[in-house]
A and B are shown apart, each in its own frame.
Chain A
Amino acid sequence: MPERDHLTVTVLRGGPDAPLQPQTFEVPAYDNQTVLDVVSWIQQNADPTLTYRFACRVGMCGSCAMMVNGVPRWTCRTHVSKVLDGNTMEVGPLRNLPVIKDLAADMDPFFDKWVAAEGRHHPTRSRDEAIAPIDPVAEERQAANAGIECINCSVCYSACDTVAGNPDYLGPAALQRAWTLYNDAKDADRDAILDAVSGQGGCHSCHSMGSCTAYCPNELDPLSAIAGLKRATAKRFFGGRK
């Protein structure tokens, strides 16, 4: 890679009342620099009115996802050297979500769909009873474990072309959450989960294009989780029980 002093960074800025407009900044280049470092430098040194969101800076909280050169990424763990196009880079708010301002997307639709997909625990016991033992090597526990490291960053939701074409679609993260609960031995209402993912915009809307699995920064596999939900609903249709 050629040595450089500065990066040319285009930031897409705007909000609900103003369409996104590109604004270009010259940002000092360093050997080790993340996309979030670049955005922070702009806000701290060039334009304090730039709005963006971050919290942990170590890939755990899921706050800082943005579009980088047209691709959704977790910016705190994305090195500039990995995504630079020549000497330039374009940063914008997440796709498929309303924009609050500049790089801060409105996450409400994303989290509303987690609730709509019945992504909540249905307890099997009360607090007065002993905790149920869990078999860590059981097949269904393994299926649940495969999806529980989701950090709710919405990268999969932004990458999904089905969400782009169908605003009702619950999206990969919410459906993967439903799949982990469906496979949780401590969840008492699997029928409620299957009902929630079988309606308008449910798992059957998925076209299996796989952008969710391709772009998930934690290397999870929502595509297979959604396929699991499709199988489970079809099995239930033919009278099969888990």
Chain B
Amino acid sequence: MSEFHLYMAQRLSALVMAPFVIVHIGVMIYAIQGGLSAAEILGRTQGSAFWFAFYGLFVVAVSIHAAIGLRTILGEWAGLRGGARDAVSAVIGLGLLALGAQAVWAVTA
């Protein structure tokens, strides 16, 4: 993947994340009013195709966005170059995807 395609992937994933972040924070603030137990939250999210798609896409976008951003930092700040930098970034991206997907599955399945 070229530098330009990584640039576009990072911008487009940011575009996807922007509404997700707003809805995520907005729903948290709204739903927590008057107290909310873990059981009540799970009661609403488990089996919900909407929340599965919402947080599933969110996790994919975060993994792409963060891995590309950290790849730049690894190059400029840690001095990593070439294949080593790409490999470390890919591991970070896949790690975020695995952790996030596990969490989404646990909450919505």
Contact = CB atoms under 8 A, between A and B. Distances in A.
Interface of A: 162, 165-166, 198-202, 204-205, 230, 233-234, 237
Given A234-B8, A234-B11, A237-B8, A200 B76 contact: no
A230 B77 CA distance: 23
Contact of A162 (B6, B7, B76): B76
Given A162-B76, A165-B76, A166-B76, A198 B3 contact: yes
A214 to B, nearest CB: 20
Contacts of B43: none
A4 B8 CA distance: 57
A234 B8 CA distance: 7
Contacts of B8: 234, 237
B75 interface: yes
Contacts of A205: 3, 72
Interface in B9-39: 11
A202 B6 CA distance: 12
Contact of B7 (A165, A166, A201, A204): A204
B4 A165 contact: no
28 contacts: A162-B76, A165-B75, A165-B76, A165-B77, A166-B75, A166-B76, A198-B2, A198-B3, A198-B4, A199-B2, A199-B3, A199-B4, A200-B3, A201-B3, A202-B3, A202-B4, A204-B3, A204-B4, A204-B6, A204-B7, A205-B3, A205-B72, A230-B7, A233-B4, A234-B8, A234-B11, A237-B4, A237-B8
Tell me whether chain A's interface is mostly helix, strand or loop, or mixed. helix
Tell me whether chain B's interface is mostly helix, strand or loop, or mixed. helix
A119 B2 CA distance: 21
A162 B77 CA distance: 10
A204 B7 CA distance: 7
A233 B4 CA distance: 8
Contacts of A201: 3
A160 B12 CA distance: 27
A208 B80 CA distance: 22
Given A199-B2, A202-B3, A204-B7, 8 more contacts: A162-B76, A166-B76, A198-B3, A198-B4, A199-B3, A200-B3, A233-B4, A237-B8
Q: Which of B3, B4, B72, B76 has the most CB of A within 10 A?
A: B4
Contacts of B3: 198-202, 204-205
Contacts of B11: 234
A68 B4 CA distance: 36
Interface in B33-77: 72, 75-77
Nearest to B77: A165
A200 B4 CA distance: 8
A236 B77 CA distance: 31
**Can you list the 8 inter-chain pairs with the closest CB atoms, starting with the nearest?**
A165-B76, A204-B7, A198-B4, A166-B76, A200-B3, A204-B3, A237-B8, A204-B4
Contacts of A233: 4
